[in-house]
Structure 1
């Protein structure tokens, strides 16, 4: 098939990229996407919006030392337009804005170069940006940056973010005060008088559609008349922050379509990118691909989603793109690769090394064990091992990294102490790597599955007043609104008691330790109990309690053994966490592991009780989620034996 060459039409205040399949209109020199024409629709973007509120890059920033996840929102507008590539095969255009000392305190101290790319025969367009700050510039914080597209509400009503997470969506005006009732936070509303009655009584909240980076490759919207799809494809996670488990927003009522690069959601201030004065930095965000499709030989609009997934695989296989003009985006031959094998050594599970299947292995900036969870300045490259523990990380940008890993089924994090230096074309074999997860003695009992989430625990049905129909009888029922309130319904007077050997964590361990409602606006802390029996106790030895948390939000975990009111407690985390996972319908935030010594003298033959107290109670949304709890006996006599 022969396709028209790409044309660039430069007007006074706009430019138009046209390859015969679609036309993209961008303001000049601002670099705001004001129109996308496709399949006879003159503009897929919301024509009722101002031109600056249709398709744009934005960021949130604050001055150094602000200490917050919020700040000033800035829609990034260029002041200079340049043509980087213009031929029949490709057009790449640039919109830049430069910073100078005269702007200190008024604008974010960054030079920003936004790029848009169109290829011959491609049913879509690409966008990426280069952010740079120079050494002598003032410090600042950058909590968020992203691309936003606002589509026509009269066209795009069906949203898809995953195979089992797609639905027809309410209208944006359904969220207006006269049509909705506010809930516990601004993002969530109860639809009481929507334009279309089918949405009456539903909760709308953009956080119900969040996804982990590891799963977030394609999402978007379908227009039924004519049948057209708009899809945002992210072929690589290398420029996203926080690693594979970091959660980001996708699409939501608007209809709004997002490409999130950096955000503090589900983490808190620890995720905020912070610069000190005199700290240089440069990072390329993207490219991402905006893909448009339509029905050809099929009359089912949901085929558009299946086709978008196929296109996503094509984009992933094409990464890193070889057509990007900027020298700041290295081609495949300028990158390196790292391979090796990861095994686990846990003598209380096996006397042999354990092959790990599906372990996460990644390269991220040098740092402490687990630091990749909050790393935001550099690039990260992750893969999963095969069934024998072998891994290959390809197309890694040049630079210095540590190799990190974590293994589902085992607690803790692995970090290789050697600095991995990637150079152009290098092929580094790390050889046989062995992770020794925290372990002192044999397991006496355990609760949960060490997978960094609370998904395996009991997630209640929502209050019938607060339903999102998508998540009824859905495997991710934790995405329903208001589940924290169900704890008070299920435990109105006393707290959860879990008896080892009798209780089942799937039905008897509430997924989040939250506060209990006490009156209209008051709440109280909660104390959960774990009861267990010991036939004999070595009172001169030390036992070990290992508590892995899946998330925490302005919470504290106090641990006591057999004495419910002991002060001070045997252990406390202190106040931890700003993950906001409970509010935002997640099942995990930051992973935290605590290893607590329990002297045998504290234990008794027969029944023992561990008291887990979460005392923080100024709001209904405070609390924590457990990933996994294990109680270990003292080391056995052969504990020094080498494998």
Structure 2
């Protein structure tokens, strides 16, 4: 660990001691002291590395370190709840570990409207550990009232006089504004409350920048370690997620990480970048149980002269230690299965696309996962159960280890190929201790005929398209010359500036989608401030057309927010009946949240040859919804396929 001071659990170090003062308990292992309100289960103090309390001492005790969630009754508004425990239990106290439970049983006779859930919050401190763990069990019994679960997370509010440097990835680290900088006297609110322009920040170097917590979102698959660093003394506060089986929406679901506060989040369940489809509905007395976590709150420190980067590198090394320790052996809850109670599954995924090769070939780098049984692609909106994902190697081989016993379907997708894979046949049953080898599996991506032209790469993202520079008035310096340029604020307005009068026209064989295809199909802002529908055109040539044939247009959508796309061929009038209309779909809100993707949707549209020409052709795509500037789609890939018996030559966009 170099010059850093931090450690995982070991047999070395003093006993873990539990002290009870009546309304608080303290866990102390000689390295870290954690104080939790009793029986509420709110973390009120964390002492470590020469700082008496890493949490914001200016906040009320109830607003420092806590679990919270959002829920709603059917047809009712959203409720925010910081569950306060009513029952306190010591589950383990043997010198090596203290594990505590702060539970709130459901009381149908409560004087206030209570979510129909038993909620059990757990905290654990181990001998020699430079940090502590937290997890929770949410449970409802059969016959309880209906409700929707909209969000679940753990929140830590750190001291603003200490923690000002945030790190969420190797290339996403920076000195952050103070929370006071977001006050009306120091900032200007932009298009929504979360985004502000810093006009008079405490740190003058930040003047003119945008602060927006959504700029620091990441995919589930990338949210492994993130947190904050105090420069004096040099102390790091990190949330480490060794395994994310309990998160909803799969590996591409985006979630918040850390943001101005300084706030550090562990997001377990949310609808961000996807919409209400990810809010599970519990109806007709359905019983349910889910364990969220454990996650590790890791603390490290170093002498003042040390490069703060060392703390980040040490935190990443600790992540590797936590990964090798998963599933943890210490949790007392029987709802968290240990290694011997889990199973594994393996196989090899191949791709068979006759347009590329008549033989199946390895699905190198494919994402393969287990999720609740459902339709192809249903893992994107699955939220009640657990998901287990890995990335196949260069031969397409995969092994998914430490899977909870249960019934699953096997899903997958491969960058470069349209559509979603789902294993045929009955769902798979994983038993404790089982090891299931599926052998070779073959994915046949959607294909009716040869590719005539294609725009973009089917990778479930719009990142490969043209992302403009931000308006100089609305920059975040972190994302200047950054691969995630799409995180900049206000890029949706740039379309109207680049195309003030006429919409985008893309000519196959002439234009390059990396520089000429705007990343988001949004409305145009007119001079009077009103919004207008926009029609993008794709011009292409076909040397010949057999009028008896049927072609296929495939529109892979990386994200949609209340958009509706009308499709026309060789029809200049947007008032005429379209060949196809998606109708309004999607509430991903990824355009406003700088997300570059949300839920992936594939539209397969039959195109009769009678509306195509031998020679020049124009595909028109009209985004007709103008409810607000954020109505629009981000395309993943567009492809026109010829009929099964090719009568055309291949013409691929650059």
Query: Counterpart in 2 of 1:501?
Result: 509
Measured after TM superposition, the shift of residue 195 of structure 1 is: 1.4
Q: Which runs of 4+ in 1 moved over 3 A?
A: none
Give the alignment partner of residue 602 of structure 1, picking from 611, 614, 619.
611
After superposition, give the CA deviation of every residue in 1:378-434 in whole Å (9 maximum; x if it has no partner).
Answer: 000000111011110000001110000111110000111321111110111111110
Match of 1:634 in 2: 643
- 2:170 corresponds in structure 1 to 163
- Is 2:596 the partner of 1:587? yes
Measure, in 1, the Cα distance between the counterparts of 2:526 and 2:627.
Answer: 11
Q: Is the 8 A contact 1:364 1:402 kept in 2?
A: yes
CA contact (8 A) 1:222 1:230 kept: yes
Say which of 125, 137, 150 aligns to 1:130: 137
Q: How does 1:249-288 map to 2 (within 5 A)?
A: 249-288=256-295
Hey, what does 1:563 align to over in structure 2? 571
Residue 63 (structure 2) pairs with residue 53 (structure 1): yes
Alignment partners' CA distance in 2, 1:362 and 1:196: 45
Q: Which of 147, 150, 157 is the aligned partner of 2:157? A: 150
For residue 273 of structure 1, report the CA deviation from its aligned partner. Answer: 1.6
For 1:641, the equivalent position in structure 2 comes to: none
Change (3 A) 1:521 1:108: farther
Deviations, residues 301-352 of structure 1 (Å, cap 9, x unaligned): 1110000001011111111001111110000110000101100110110111
1:182 lines up with 2:189 in the alignment = yes
Cα distance in structure 2, aligned partners of 1:467 and 1:39: 35
How far the C-alpha of 1:297 sits from its partner, in A, is 10
2:79 pairs with one of 54, 72, 78 = 72
Q: Is residue 107–residue 114 contact of structure 2 (8 Å, CA) maintained in 1?
A: no
Instruction: Mark the runs of 5 or more structure 1 residues left unpaired by the alignment.
Output: 639-643
Q: Residue 330 of structure 1 contacts residue 397 of structure 1 at CA under 8 Å; is this kept in 2?
A: yes
| Contact kept in structure 2, 1:559 and 1:571, CA below 8 Å | yes
Unaligned stretches of 5+ in structure 2? 1-10, 648-654
1:540 is paired with a residue whose SS is coil
2:3 maps to none
Q: How many Å separate the matches in 1 of 2:108 and 2:487?
A: 46
Note if 1:622 corresponds to 2:631.
yes
Counterpart Cα distance in 1 of 2:78 and 2:503: 39
Aligned to 1:403: 410
CA–CA distance in structure 2, aligned partners of residues 301 and 632 of structure 1:
53
3-state secondary structure, aligned to 2:109? helix
Conservation of the 8 A alpha-carbon contact between 2:487 and 2:594: yes
- Residues 1:526 and 2:534 are matched in the alignment: yes
State yes or no: 1:247 paired with 2:254.
Answer: yes
RMSD (Å), alpha carbons: 1.3
Match of 1:20 among 30, 55, 77: 30
What's the CA shift for 1:105? 6.6
Q: How does 1:454-533 map to 2 (within 5 A)?
A: 454-533=462-541
Alpha-carbon distance in structure 2 between the residues aligned to 1:320 and 1:158: 31
Q: Name 1:40's counterpart in structure 2.
A: 50
Query: TM-score of the superposition, structure 2-length normalised?
Result: 0.96
Q: 1:236–1:498: structure 2 CA closer, same or farther, 3 Å change rule?
A: same
What is the deviation of 1:520? 4.8
Q: Is the 8 A contact 1:235 1:319 kept in 2?
A: yes
- The superposition leaves residues 596-640 of structure 1 with CA deviations (integer Å, 9 ceiling, x where unpaired) of 1111111001110000000111211110000001111101279xx
SS class of match (1:17): strand
Residue of structure 2 equivalent to 1:10: 20
Q: Deviations 1:530-586 (Å, cap 9, x if unpaired)?
A: 000001111111011111000000100110000132632101111011000000001
Secondary structure of 1:489's match?
Answer: helix
Deviation at 1:193, TM superposition (A): 1.0
Is this contact kept in 2: 1:212–1:247, CA < 8 A?
A: yes
Contact 1:64 1:275 in 2 (8 A): no
Cα pair 1:29 1:81 within 8 Å, conserved: yes
Q: CA deviation at 1:100?
A: 2.1
Deviates more, 1:317-326 or 1:566-575: 566-575
TM-score by length of 1: 0.97
Query: 1:285-434 to 2 correspondence within 5 Å?
Result: 285-295=292-302, 299-417=306-424, 418-434=426-442
Aligned to 2:650: none
Distance 2:298 2:309 in 1: 15
Mapped partners of 1:521, 1:75: distance in 2: 41
Deviation at 1:213?
Answer: 0.4
Deviation of the 1:189 alpha carbon = 0.4
Specify the alignment match of 2:120 in structure 1.
113
Q: Secondary structure at the match of 2:319?
A: helix
What is the CA distance between 1:92 and its match in structure 2?
Answer: 0.3
In structure 2, the CA distance between the partners of 1:398 and 1:607, relative to structure 1 (3 Å rule), is same
Residues 503 and 536 in structure 2, CA contact (< 8 A), matched pair in contact too: yes
Contact 1:16 1:25 in 2 (8 A): yes
